[in-house]
Amino acid sequence: MKVKIDYDLCMGDENCHKVCPEVFDFDQDKLQSSVRVDTVPPQLEDKVRQAARECAPGAIVIVE
């Protein structure tokens, strides 16, 4: 699984970082999340799916 953030939609609320900090970093100065990993480790895939479900603007794009 790969994951990326659509910055045209992201509103910088930090939720993905709170749900899965292992995959989503958050820059407190830029108020922007970023993806830390190239490929999501299998044991974190469920947390990434949860983060995507909880991302209100639908900015988290999962590629299986």
Shortest distance, CB of residue 5 to ligand SF4, whole angstroms? 5
Cα(40)–Cα(22) distance, integer angstroms: 9
Site for ligand SF4, rule CB under 6 A: 5, 10-16, 33, 55, 57, 59-60
CB atoms within 10 A of CB 20: 22
Nearer to ligand SF4, 41 or 54 (CB): 54
From CA 64, how far away is CA 56, in angstroms rounded?
21
Q: How far is the CB of 16 from ligand SF4 (least distance, A)?
A: 3
CA distance 38 to 44: 13
In angstroms, give the least distance from the CB of 34 to ligand SF4.
9
